[in-house]
A and B are shown apart, each in its own frame.
Chain A
């Protein structure tokens, strides 16, 4: 259940953004979740309201942008999207591959209300 820790970390970051922007509330949080990030979206959505309670992100809606995994093959050099479990090159089936994308879990943007430059 590290999703609760992740949700707490997210709320802390969003609170900092609110502080910097002098925002009073957060309407939405856009997240980029990599296919290999090891984050369970349902567990995260369950944990978020617990972490956000009493903060400016309390009523924020979570929007997910899914980042597909990408691997690069050391044998044929092609970039492919791996299957769900086995990391083998989609072009030549080689095992000599490196993960180049899909591990990210990032805050893309937040929609806020209040103050700011306006």
Chain B
């Protein structure tokens, strides 16, 4: 009987490792009896890998970033919960910028091309990525649509990620800036609840600021929450609906483009 797994039935599926008197460690399937000679599989060995789990995604993201840089394009990855107002902000932003420089948009959703149709009304190139099962965009999906959405005149590319505060933060798409959005109708402590995104984003945009008079929402507390997880992060406070704060946001975007 085997001292490791105690199995006695020949042919029973039971795989394990065991050490021989000479110190070598072996693993074998139990098609063979336990009083075996050394006919089993070669020794168990450790292979050093030292690579990021998302190395493949990151390689594609690096290629995307280089591809965009060659064309002088600055890309922003917009991440927020569903309903923060990413699409409205994009519609209004694109309408303000499109006569001053080439703008293109990639929108990501689990399903539908509703956002694409909204952005398309502004007249700028737009491509929709439907992620289906996935809760985030990844670099490979973005690489597929880049050649279709980018035009010779494109200078600024917005990538509207799938509405989700957690998962998209982990996937580099090849963007230059990660923008985290938070609306006044969400809790002011969200940056503290979802620190990975807010700590990693280069820019935070507070949206729906026109609603604050109607809400029991503490702007100062929200600012403190943002600063506690990401000290010094650039923050915009605006309303795409009324246009308040949009000038500063658009000036900032124009300055990003070389």
Contact = CB atoms under 8 A, between A and B. Distances in A.
Interface in B125-149: 134-136, 138
A53 interface: no
B136 A5 contact: yes
Q: Is the interface of B mostly helix, strand, loop or mixed?
A: mixed
Given A12-B56, A107-B50, A2 B44 contact: no
Interface residues of A, number: 43
B62 interface: no
B42 A108 contact: no
Contact of B136 (A2, A17, A31, A85): A2
A67 B227 CA distance: 24
Contacts of B17: 27
Contact of B50 (A36, A106, A112): A106
B48 A24 contact: no
B41 interface: yes
Contacts of B170: 2, 6, 37-39
A85 B42 contact: no
A106 B48 CA distance: 11
Contacts of B15: 25, 59
Interface in A85-107: 85-88, 95-97, 99, 103-107
B152 interface: no
A110 interface: yes
A10 B53 contact: yes
B232 interface: yes
In the A-B complex, the 8 residue pairs with the closest CB atoms: A2-B167, A38-B196, A95-B231, A107-B49, A86-B228, A105-B53, A113-B27, A109-B48
Interface of A: 1-2, 5-6, 9-10, 12-13, 17, 21, 23-25, 27, 31, 36-39, 59, 85-88, 95-97, 99, 103-116, 118
